[in-house]
Chains A and B, each alone.
Chain A
Amino acid sequence: QVQLQESGPGLVKPSETLSLTCAVSGYSISSGYYWGWIRQPPGKGLEWIGSIYHSGSTYYNPSLKSRVTISVDTSKNQFSLKLSSVTAADTAVYYCARPGYSGGWSLPFDYWGQGTLVTVSS
């Protein structure tokens, strides 16, 4: 069974860089699939941030592209998110996720981490 677990600081100062890692168990990232990051501000809806393949190929939400970097570390079976120049608007629960079937980078997500709340505040 695929399991994903987000980790990282729960508090980030404005203008700094948010960094999160998603550790994957039960499946080798190198075996395939695009792995994604999605966020959800408190009380609001879902926003896709971006997705990455084990080769390093990435796709980003155009509205965040200038500030987002997603990377993968196959040796540790994990992938990471960096979001630069954060503001209070970036306060959200951040989820990592994987589709239930392969076949492209834009697919519905069937496996999700539990999510981690990141608050941007001084």
Chain B
Amino acid sequence: EIVLTQSPGTLSLSPGERATLSCRASQSVSSNYLAWYQQKFGQAPRLLIYGASSRATGVPDRFRGSGSGTDFTLTISRLEPEDFAVYYCQQYGSSTFFGGGTKVEIK
């Protein structure tokens, strides 16, 4: 089982600032099969990034995924008010597992 560790647990930032979220895997994620989701309170998760760096349909280009192997990053270039939410990573190269999440809150 590949364990995904997300950090930080909470990120306190202001609108317009840059957010950098980390997802570290306990072993290499094959073919960079890593996805990122955004979840707002009371809603289902929304797929943002797949294949480590490909944006899903309709996702603004301020969301950027990067990384390979065991270290992956989701960067939100300039936070909009609607971006404050919880973000999860998922690896799907060896079965499917999710990270514990990072909450991006308004400072």
Q: Evaluate contact between A48 and B56: CB separation under 8 angstroms.
A: no
Return the chain A residue nearest B57 by Cβ.
A100
Which residues of A, 39-86, contact B by the 8 Å Cβ criterion?
A: 45-48, 51, 59, 61-62
**Distance in Å from the Cβ of B34 to the closest Cβ of chain A?**
9
Task: Tell whether, in the assembled complex, residue A106 and residue B92 are in contact, meaning their CB atoms are under 8 Å apart.
Answer: yes
Which residues of chain B are within 8 angstroms of A47 by Cβ–Cβ distance?
98
Does A107 sit at the interface, judged by CB under 8 A? yes
Band of interface residues on A? 20 to 34
Nearest chain-A residue to B34 (Cβ)?
A108
Does B100 reach chain A (CB closer than 8 Å)?
Answer: yes
Q: Which of chain A's residues has its CB closest to B6's CB?
A: A45
How long is the Cα–Cα vector from A117 to B12 in the complex, in angstroms?
Answer: 29
Report B-chain residues with C-beta under 8 Å of the C-beta of A51.
96
Determine if A110 and B56 form an interchain contact, defined as CB atoms under 8 angstroms apart. Answer: yes
Alpha-carbon distance between A34 and B29 when the two chains are bound, in angstroms: 21
Query: Could you tell me the distance in whole angstroms from the C-beta of A70 to the nearest C-beta in chain B?
Result: 14
Q: Is the CB of B90 within 8 A of A45?
A: no
Residues of A near B93 (CB, < 8 A) are 106
Which residues of A69-116 are within 8 A (CB) of B? 95, 97, 100, 106-110, 112-115
Could you say which of B57, B95, B99 has the most chain A C-beta atoms within 10 Å of its C-beta? B95
Chain A residues near B45 (CB-CB < 8 A) = 46, 95, 109, 112
Complex Cα spacing A110 to B92, Å: 13
| Contact (Cβ within 8 A) A45 B92 | no
- Give the distance in Å from the alpha carbon of A98 to the alpha carbon of B44 in the complex: 13
Contacts A48-B95, A108-B47, A108-B92 supplied; 12 other A-B pairs, CB < 8 Å:
A45-B99, A46-B98, A46-B101, A47-B98, A48-B97, A51-B96, A106-B96, A108-B56, A110-B47, A110-B57, A114-B43, A114-B44
14 contacts between A and B (CB under 8 A): A46-B98, A48-B97, A61-B95, A100-B56, A100-B57, A106-B95, A107-B92, A108-B35, A109-B45, A110-B56, A112-B44, A114-B43, A114-B44, A115-B44
